Amino acid sequence: MATDYDAPRKTEEDQSEESIEELKARRHDKNSGKVDEDEAEAAESFELPGADLSHEELAIEVKPKQEDEFTCMSCFLLHHRSQLADAKKMICFDCS
Ligand SMILES: [Zn+2]
């Protein structure tokens, strides 16, 4: 009986390892230019063993910034395009 349990287990471990590598690569992409994802990332790595599903959900919920939004280079907040005061410096009206 014990051997029956052993075989499928190994396969699951292999799969989760693969998806972790994938997620790492994907997360790297999204992190460029974003600061506030560090906390989420720390929480994710804390739950790594066996927490595959919650992992996927998090990856989907963290959206890249929208087309009509920009990150102010001074206050680093996400603003709507209408708040863009200086397109070259990427600074919002509050900081200009
Ligand atoms: Zn600003």
- Does residue 17 belong to any structural domain of this protein? no
Q: What DSSP letter does each residue of 48-86 carry, written as one string?
A: TTT-HHHHHHHHHHSPPPPTTEEE-TTT--EEEGGGEEE
Q: Is 70 exceeded by the pLDDT of residue 47? A: no
**Would you call 95 helix, strand, or coil by DSSP?**
coil
- Does residue 96 belong to any structural domain of this protein? yes
Q: Looking at residue 66, what is its pLDDT?
A: 72
67 C-alpha to ligand 1 centroid (Å) = 18
Q: Looking at residue 26, what is its pLDDT?
A: 73
Expressed as residue numbers, the domain containing 83 is 65-96
CA 44 distance to own-chain centroid: 9
pTM exceeds 0.75: no
- Does residue 46 belong to any structural domain of this protein? no
Neighbours of ion ligand 1 (CB under 5 A): 72, 74-75, 92, 94-95
HSE-CB for 9 with a 13 A CA cutoff: 5
Which letter does DSSP use for residue 94 in this model? Answer: T
Q: What is the mean pLDDT of residues 81-86?
A: 95
How many domains is the chain partitioned into structurally?
1
Q: Specify the higher pLDDT residue, 27 or 10.
A: 27
